Structure 1
Amino acid sequence: MTRIIRLVMAILMLPLILNAQPVEMADTMRSEGKIYVVVAILLLIFAGLIAYLVMLDRKITKIEKRLSDSNN
């Protein structure tokens, strides 16, 4: 029981021990407006991946349908 209490106390004290420094790169990019370019590129990549997965799913569905039709 004391182990659990020690573990909980250590986890609760962790933010006090670890004082994270601010990320200067993010502040610089945000102030120059470049962060929006990064976000736009990431959204474009994710949209492309989603479109690819949807097309791949359609192809696999067609192949599965053909295989099930040929087996019957």
Structure 2
Amino acid sequence: MKICFSLKEVAEALSLSPATVQKLVREKTFPEPRLLSGRRVGWLVHEVQAWADTRPVADLLPPENTAARRR
């Protein structure tokens, strides 16, 4: 059972970039990381999940897959 997420894991779990997670922390709209050791921080999984649960339901639908390929 995982207790803490790294920055990369938080970003991946929420489909956000690491820079966006850091911005939300600076804006005090996202849980602050916990000090795990001298130079290591992590986010408690249950705090990240609780934050995600408070997000409003979106009116936007994901874009349709156009099947276009980058060349």
Considering the TM-score relative to the shorter chain, is it more than 0.5?
no
Larger radius of gyration: 1
Higher relative contact order (CA 8 A, sep 6+): 2
- With normalisation by structure 2, the TM-score equals 0.29
- With normalisation by structure 1, the TM-score equals 0.28
